[in-house]
């Protein structure tokens, strides 16, 4: 009789566990899938933003997308022509920082020195999100950078200095202290 009661008790506990799993299981899977898709998009967006930051033009990028049926995520293959005067190691570090900042990681990186090429595979865990093939192109040139000139604290001068600055051939933004004698 004790054995029968013990068996019924274990069957009852197993039944309760089964019910709990059936109620929580699918939503956990759905949340997990949504998290993976969101993470993949975040990593891909970080790569895209990094390329824009270095003024890599759209016409220099050839894109292919492959659907990963195992993980229900799109894998992006990007063949990117890089201006000859842009350092591949510098771009590599920037991409690495962007990917890590988005929650991803560099899965693999291979530099092919004799072909001026770098292949980077990025993703999370062991899930590949982007494969980047960076190749130097001697026909392209890199946008060197920007400079900002800030002229501060005008408003206490009678305007002679400002007249000279206004002759400067580029756009200048002046900072004027309000309430001073020559602020207007």
Tell me the CATH number at 90.
3.30.460
Residue 12 in domain: no
Instruction: Say yes or no: 79 and 151 in one domain.
Output: no
pLDDT at 133: 95
Per-residue model confidence (pLDDT) at position 159 = 63
pTM above 0.75, yes or no: no
**Neighbour-count burial of 135, counting CB atoms closer than 10 A to its CB (0-12 exposed, 13-18 middle, 19+ buried):** middle
Same domain, residue pair 130 and 62 = yes
Per-residue pLDDT of the chain (184 residues; tens, 9 = 90+): 677 776 777 677 877 777 776 666 555 545 577 888 889 899 999 999 999 999 899 999 999 988 877 766 678 899 999 999 888 888 999 999 999 999 999 999 998 888 789 999 999 988 888 999 999 999 998 766 677 777 676 666 666 777 777 788 877 777 777 877 777 6
Identify whether 9 is part of a domain: no
Does any domain span residue 51?
yes
SS (HEC) of 29-83:
HHHHHHHHHHHHHHHHHHHHHHHHHCCCCHHHEEEEEEEECCCCEEEEEEEEEEE
- 72 shares a domain with 52: yes
Domain of 171, in residue numbers: 147-184
Residues 6+ away with beta carbon under 8 Å from 80? 51, 56, 60, 61, 62, 132, 133, 134, 135
The CA-based dihedral angle spanning residues 121, 122, 124, 128, taken in that order and rounded to the nearest 10 degrees: -50
């Amino acid at each position: 009789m004790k054995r029968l009661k013990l068996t019924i008790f274990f069957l009852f506990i197993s039944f309760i566990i089964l019910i709990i799993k059936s109620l929580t299981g699918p939503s956990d899977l759905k949340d997990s899938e949504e998290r993976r898709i969101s993470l993949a998009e975040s990593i891909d967006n970080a790569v895209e933003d990094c390329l824009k930051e270095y003024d890599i033009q759209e016409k220099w990028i050839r894109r292919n997308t492959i659907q990963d049926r195992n993980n229900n995520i799109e894998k992006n293959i990007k063949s990117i022509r890089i201006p000859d005067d842009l350092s591949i190691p510098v771009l590599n570090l920037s991409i690495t920082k962007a990917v890590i900042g988005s929650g991803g990681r560099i899965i693999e990186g291979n530099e092919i020195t004799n072909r001026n090429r770098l292949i980077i595979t990025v993703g999370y865990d062991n899930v590949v999100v982007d494969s980047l093939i960076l190749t130097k192109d001697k026909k392209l040139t890199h946008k060197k950078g920007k400079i900002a000139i800030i002229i501060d604290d005008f408003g206490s001068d009678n305007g002679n200095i400002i007249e000279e600055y206004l002759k400067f051939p580029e756009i200048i933004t002046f900072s004027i202290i309000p309430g001073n004698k020559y602020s207007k």
